[in-house]
Amino acid sequence: MHTQDAAQEPTILVLNSGSSSLKFGLFRHSEGDETLLLEGSAEGIGRSDGTLQIRTPDGRVLEQQEHVLESQTEALQKLAEVLARQHHARPAAVGHRVVHGGPHLRKHQRLTPAVRQRLQDAVHFAPLHIPPALALIDEAAKIFHEAPHFACFDTAFHATLPPRAAQLPLPRRYLRSGVIRYGFHGLSYESLVRRLGADLPPRAVFAHLGNGSSVCALRDGKSVDTSMGLTPTGGVPMGTRSGDLDPGVLLYLMRVEKLDAGALETMLNRHSGLAGYSDGESDMQALEKRAAAGDANASLALDAFATAVRKTVGGYAALLGGIDLLVFTGGIGEHSEEMRKRVCEGLAFMGLVEGDPAGKVKAIHTEEEKQIARHCRALLKEAAG
């Protein structure tokens, strides 16, 4: 339980919506930055092994449930119940991580009916992420109706991409309709830039590796290239997403297998990537165990994933003229030492060695929720004049 003074501080509730998960944090401003009061996550939403946990910053569990959570809205309702039981003040604002806002929403801003409609119009840019995010926004607006709500976009950080990275090799008329490289995991990358501060060298590569994975090249703390493109399906192979493919593969599947857009979307987003290589398994820990036991398909999935990330890092070394720092983050990047070693195999000639005391390779915890809270606090102050 927090002190009465802390409970009375204006708080910001952050909701971080993923494709099959919901992370959340309750923050208040203290000593020049956002301080976490409460955090938690709902994992495996829609699966039989789904879990919900809500805990204090020191790890004390306030709520633990293990059953099917049908939706993010159900997880949010449980969170609201715990907040009420713990006597926390109602949040002064609610911040939402939004993966993709389309071509017209590239800045963090207050959620208004007009902004929500533009999000609805942008569903085709991220069909796996935007529908559950919109449902969550609507439910949160009902539960916390007295607080302003803000949308923080994963694409905003990559607005610095130069034309050679942002524009795609298609007829220019598609550029005008927003068919460009947007890049994602921007809130994660932005939080790393802030955490590193003066220790961030001029040439850095960040690899956010999780169920969704991307790699970003940074010069002087700004994004100059990134692996994901128009949608979060592109780039390196992911848990269930294909990553980049020869476009001819899709044409073949349309012509020969008679797959329509809906079938292709389902296959590329839900049954490909690591799950495709391994015949259904997308969890990194499970794949590592299977590979250690001699499963050839699991070994192939791990090798293909590591190789794709390594090739991207190598390409960015050429782009930047060298790499001063390689940072791993995300669930896999932070917690899988084996995968970090696999990615770094062959990069020693650049001094990129996992576990090297020289420190050119780091694993750093991302703070997406805290970064969203910072943006919301700034937007609140801006609105107040």
Q: Look at residue 356 in the predicted model and tell me its pLDDT.
A: 86
Q: Which of 58, 121, 138, 154 is catalytic?
A: 154
Please, are residues 241 and 265 in contact by the beta-carbon 8 Å criterion?
A: no
Please, are residues 111 and 137 in contact by the beta-carbon 8 Å criterion?
A: yes
Helix (H) / strand (E) containing 331: helix 330-335
Q: Residue 258: which residues within 8 A CB-CB, separation 6 or more?
A: none
Count CB neighbours of 299 within 10 A: 18
Q: Enter the pTM of the model.
A: 0.93
| Residue 123 token pair | 């569903």
**CATH for the 4-153 domain, from 3.30.565.10, 3.40.50.11740, 3.40.50.150, 3.30.420.40:** 3.30.420.40
Q: Look at residue 83 in the predicted model and tell me its pLDDT.
A: 83
Count CB neighbours of 330 within 10 A: 23
Could you identify the residue written with the tokens 């034309």?
163
Active site residue 260: no
| Residue 203 token pair | 């040439």
Q: Look at residue 3 in the predicted model and tell me its pLDDT.
A: 41
Q: Look at residue 293 in the predicted model and tell me its pLDDT.
A: 98
Q: Look at residue 281 in the predicted model and tell me its pLDDT.
A: 97
Q: Domain 162-363, what fold? A: Nucleotidyltransferase; domain 5 (3.30.420)
Q: Look at residue 347 in the predicted model and tell me its pLDDT.
A: 97
Query: Domain residue spans in the chain?
Result: 4-153, 162-363
Q: How far, CA to CA in Å, does 361 sit from each of 11, 35, 47, 200, 204?
A: 35, 28, 35, 12, 10
Q: Is there a shared CATH topology between the 4-153 domain and the 162-363 domain? A: yes
Q: Look at residue 69 in the predicted model and tell me its pLDDT.
A: 77
Give SS3 for 62.
Answer: strand
Per-residue pLDDT of the chain in tens (385 residues, 90 and over written 9): 444 444 456 899 999 876 667 889 999 999 899 999 999 888 888 777 888 899 999 999 988 888 767 888 888 888 888 888 877 788 999 999 999 999 999 999 999 999 999 999 999 888 778 888 898 999 999 999 999 999 999 999 999 999 999 999 999 999 999 999 999 999 999 999 999 999 999 999 999 999 999 999 999 999 999 999 999 999 999 999 999 999 999 999 999 999 999 999 999 999 999 999 999 999 999 999 999 999 999 999 999 999 999 999 999 999 999 999 999 999 999 999 999 999 999 999 999 999 888 789 999 999 999 999 999 999 999 988 7
Helix (H) / strand (E) containing 33: strand 33-43
Please, are residues 214 and 236 in contact by the beta-carbon 8 Å criterion?
A: yes
Q: Residue 241: which residues within 8 A CB-CB, separation 6 or more?
A: 212, 232, 233, 268, 269, 272, 273
Q: Look at residue 2 in the predicted model and tell me its pLDDT.
A: 43
Backbone phi, psi, residue 72, to 5°: -65, -30
Counting DSSP H helices and E strands in the chain, the numbers are 15, 13
Q: Residue 380: which residues within 8 A CB-CB, separation 6 or more?
A: 12, 92, 93, 148
DSSP classification of residue 19: S
Q: How far, CA to CA in Å, does 89 sit from each of 26, 94, 137?
A: 10, 13, 20
Q: Look at residue 18 in the predicted model and tell me its pLDDT.
A: 67
Sequential DSSP letters for 136-160: HHHHHHHHTTTS-EEEEETTGGGGG
